[in-house]
Amino acid sequence: MTVRRGAGRRAFEILRKVSRDLYWCDRCNVPLLTRVCGLCGGEGRPVKLTPPADARPALGLEYVQLWKLIESELDAQCPYPRRRIVVLNKIPYVDSADEVVVDGYIVGHRYYDPLRGTWRFKPLYYGVSAILKSKVGYYAIADVETLERGFELHAEDLLEANLPRRGSEKFVAVGTKSGYEGVGIYTKRKRIRVLKSWRAKSFEWNSSNPSWLDAARANEARLAVLEQEAVDFLRKIAAKYPLPPVVSFSGGKDSLVAFRLAQKAFGNVPMLFNDTGLELPETIEYVKRVAQSSGAELIVASAGDAFWRGLDVMGPPARDYRWCCKVAKLVPTAKALRERFAGGALSIVGQRGAESASRARGLRVYENRWLPNVIVAAPIHSWSALEVWLYIFKERLPVNPLYFKGFDRLGCWLCPAIEMSEAEAVKRLHPELWAKWEGYLKTFSEKRGLGDAWVRLGLWRWLAIPGDVARMVRLLAGQEPPLSARGPRFRAELEGGRVLVELEGFNGALSFEALAEALSSLGVAKVEEGKLTLNGVPVVVEKTEDALRIAVEGAKRVDDVVKAVVRAAYCIGCGSCELWCPKGAIKVVNWRFRVDSDVCAHCGMCNSVCPVAEYATRAQAFENFLSQARA
């Protein structure tokens, strides 16, 4: 199941460092965060999970569908005991994939096949032993001494078997009399191709069926230590940075725990919810309910339709092209924080290191260049998902109902970080939302000749498609992954003290006044007698049917001119420059920035905080890279 090369391997190594241990009490049949069980005092058995071992409970629909999936994969009644406690642990793959743990034993991998658009279950280890022992599901006892990956078992190699009627790519549990076990796939040529094998280990299912509340009780001591440490941390940070605390509440489980910890540290704390315009309605309702029931002040930041306006200019966001986060998250959050806390704020967030390699690299206390006068503190940075969930059960906190409807991660419903399995969950719950997005992607893909796989396999989620995904596309779709840059196209060069910028494909209107307001970031820009000047030197502007050329004399950096020109031509009115301008010279009016040239100090800050300018520059760099690669 593992797909780890290059960048994937580096991310894996980073996540390994934040990996947490998991134990299992065989007497009480509960997962343990530390070796000792809080229910019986006995010692737990280590459960070896794939790093970062960010295990979580299977809940609601996910739980129900898991048992159905196992049965449909085995074409038999599930041979594993149907416990209330089932643990899922994310593993690296091209889409969603989890180790499935029952009674503290890994019974297999559940994973989403993005090509077929279905979930699969592959029995492994104890899951294979259970099939062989019960003879329920597809299995084969082979008359071979050893079992190795790549072996093909023919009918004459088998002592006993229950195989699918036709070659079907179904998984088959394989055992040998010599003590090997493995899993194979039943091929169209009616052979079992061994995918993985190991030495069989004996085990017994447990006989008890406790609940997650029992598991929380078994871990109370560890949860108390975690809570105390996090509360102390928050108080220490608040003493160091005497700013009013506010919890950034996304509606997810992690921010729910951060909120509870902040309440314990400071009493009643306001919560800030940023409505990106891409929240599922369940989340919006839920956030209101939590605020009401806790009596906390709810500050709502709203991006309105900033994402959709940005889309026209920037094209679909991608994991390596997240203009959306700035436009729909950080800018509205910063605005709301500034309005409510003029002197700055201590923003408490639910970020955890195990969520991703970039978060694992991040600090527990930091400043974000997009959030002026804000110190960000992440009290549960080192917590695992299981610690978060057990804390929620212990405190009986009200979780977002989406966790019971097949979602294990919440956020913008069309975030490029989603897996295709998560897109399926959105599609199932809110088909109208996904249809709108898919319609947009199809039109975008058609215009650029990117083909069907670009939408179907979710390739829009990257500019540079990672190696494992590219391999999947080659293998499954039989084609090279189509690559596409997005966003405004431009060419820029410095020629003897003159910067030339050409906006390709620009067919909108752009007045000298609008250009002057953007160029005032570089110096004194004026429009007099129908002429545009910068620092007294004429700016040459040439407009053709589908391009705009601008020549600016005496600018120090090409990049600054590019950013000013891109802002002038493609402003989406996100308000970042208005927020950051140290002179208060900018106002966004009708989704466009306006500069009061009498107040502007030409500091250039507005260029450096414009997400459109920043991401257009990044996208152009990628386009240049593609052109070179094609040449």
Is 36 a binder of Zn ion (CB under 5 A)? no
Q: Is the dihedral of CA 232, 233, 237, 242 positive or negative?
A: negative
Is 402 a binder of ligand SF4 (CB under 6 A)? no
Question: Tokens representing 93?
Answer: 């793959």
Tell me which of Zn ion, ligand SF4, none is bound by residue 357, counting a contact when its beta carbon lies within the kind-specific cut-off of 5 to 8 angstroms: none
- Kindly tell me which of 28 and 144 has the beta carbon lying closer to Zn ion: 28
Is 581 a binder of ligand SF4 (CB under 6 A)? yes
Which one of 39, 200, 296, 380 is in contact with Zn ion (CB under 5 A)? 39
Is 588 a binder of ligand SF4 (CB under 6 A)? yes
What residues contact residue 532 under an 8 Å CB cut-off, 6+ apart? 512, 515, 516, 519, 525, 526, 538, 539, 541
CB of 336 to ligand SF4, least distance (A): 16
CB of 91 to ligand SF4, least distance (A): 39
Using the contact rule CB under 6 A, the part of the chain among 24-32, 138-146, 485-493, 564-572 near ligand SF4 is 564-572
Q: Cα separation of 233 and 383, whole Å?
A: 14
Residue labelled with tokens 């597809």: 138
Tell me which of ligand SF4, Zn ion, none is bound by residue 569, counting a contact when its beta carbon lies within the kind-specific cut-off of 5 to 8 angstroms: none
Question: Tokens representing 378?
Answer: 């992440």
- Coil vs helix vs strand at 77: coil
Closest CA to 514 of 614, 591, 580, 584: 591
CA 564 to chain centre: 31
Following CA atoms 306, 311, 316, 320 in sequence, which dihedral angle do they give, to the nearest 10 degrees? -60
CB of 369 to ligand SF4, least distance (A): 13
- Kindly tell me which of 130 and 610 has the beta carbon lying closer to ligand SF4: 610
Which one of 136, 314, 501, 571 is in contact with ligand SF4 (CB under 6 A)? 571
Is 532 a binder of ligand SF4 (CB under 6 A)? no
Using the contact rule CB under 5 A, the part of the chain among 40-48, 131-139, 193-201, 535-543 near Zn ion is 40-48
Is 303 a binder of ligand SF4 (CB under 6 A)? no
CB of 600 to ligand SF4, least distance (A): 3
- Kindly tell me which of 459 and 579 has the beta carbon lying closer to ligand SF4: 579
Which one of 574, 615, 616, 623 is in contact with ligand SF4 (CB under 6 A)? 574
Is 612 a binder of ligand SF4 (CB under 6 A)? yes
Closest CA to 323 of 416, 448, 437, 423: 416
Number of residues that bind ligand SF4 (CB under 6 A): 27
Is 457 a binder of ligand SF4 (CB under 6 A)? no
Is 216 a binder of Zn ion (CB under 5 A)? no
Closest CA to 226 of 353, 381, 365, 376: 381
CB of 411 to ligand SF4, least distance (A): 22
10 Å Cβ neighbour count for 592? 14
Using the contact rule CB under 5 A, the part of the chain among 29-37, 337-345, 378-386, 566-574 near Zn ion is 29-37
Q: Cα separation of 95 and 507, whole Å?
A: 39
Question: Tokens representing 560?
Answer: 């600054």
Tell me which of ligand SF4, Zn ion, none is bound by residue 27, counting a contact when its beta carbon lies within the kind-specific cut-off of 5 to 8 angstroms: Zn ion
Q: Cα separation of 565 and 314, whole Å?
A: 15
Residue labelled with tokens 């004194």: 524
Tell me which of ligand SF4, Zn ion, none is bound by residue 539, counting a contact when its beta carbon lies within the kind-specific cut-off of 5 to 8 angstroms: none
Residues 410, 402 contacting (CB under 8 angstroms): yes
- Kindly tell me which of 376 and 606 has the beta carbon lying closer to ligand SF4: 606
**Contact map string, positions 486 to 525, toward ligand SF4, x by CB under 6 A:** ----------------------------------xx----
Tell me which of ligand SF4, Zn ion, none is bound by residue 155, counting a contact when its beta carbon lies within the kind-specific cut-off of 5 to 8 angstroms: none
Which one of 311, 577, 616, 619 is in contact with ligand SF4 (CB under 6 A)? 577
- The CA-atom distances, in angstroms, between 101 and each of 50, 110, 560, 628 are 12, 11, 54, 48
Tell me which of Zn ion, ligand SF4, none is bound by residue 131, counting a contact when its beta carbon lies within the kind-specific cut-off of 5 to 8 angstroms: none
Give the H or E element holding residue 299. Answer: strand 298-302
What residues contact residue 281 under an 8 Å CB cut-off, 6+ apart? 430
CB of 128 to ligand SF4, least distance (A): 56
Residue labelled with tokens 């752009």: 510
CB of 565 to ligand SF4, least distance (A): 11
Tell me which of ligand SF4, Zn ion, none is bound by residue 604, counting a contact when its beta carbon lies within the kind-specific cut-off of 5 to 8 angstroms: ligand SF4
Question: Tokens representing 565?
Answer: 């020109």
CB of 516 to ligand SF4, least distance (A): 12
Is 595 a binder of ligand SF4 (CB under 6 A)? yes
Which one of 143, 601, 621, 624 is in contact with ligand SF4 (CB under 6 A)? 601
Using the contact rule CB under 6 A, the part of the chain among 120-128, 458-466, 527-535, 592-600 near ligand SF4 is 592-600
Angle (deg, nearest 10), helices 253-266 and 281-294: 20
Q: Cα separation of 256 and 83, whole Å?
A: 27
Is 37 a binder of Zn ion (CB under 5 A)? yes
Which one of 474, 583, 589, 624 is in contact with ligand SF4 (CB under 6 A)? 583
CB of 21 to ligand SF4, least distance (A): 46
Which one of 572, 616, 617, 622 is in contact with ligand SF4 (CB under 6 A)? 572
Pairing verdict, β 365-367 and 540-544: unpaired
Question: Tokens representing 344?
Answer: 């700055």
Which one of 25, 311, 375, 606 is in contact with ligand SF4 (CB under 6 A)? 606
Is 27 a binder of Zn ion (CB under 5 A)? yes
- Coil vs helix vs strand at 500: strand
Q: What angle do CA 479, 444, 415 make, to 5 degrees?
A: 90
**Contact map string, positions 7 to 26, toward Zn ion, x by CB under 5 A:** ------------------x-
- The CA-atom distances, in angstroms, between 296 and each of 392, 477, 506, 558, 590 are 18, 51, 48, 49, 34
- Coil vs helix vs strand at 600: coil
Beta-bridged to residue 30, according to DSSP, are 25
CB of 35 to Zn ion, least distance (A): 11
Helices and strands, number each (H, E), in the chain: 21, 29
Question: Tokens representing 229?
Answer: 């440490």
Binding site for ligand SF4 (CB under 6 A): 520-521, 567, 571-577, 581-583, 585-586, 588, 593, 595, 600-606, 610, 612
Binding site for Zn ion (CB under 5 A): 25, 27-28, 37, 39-40, 42
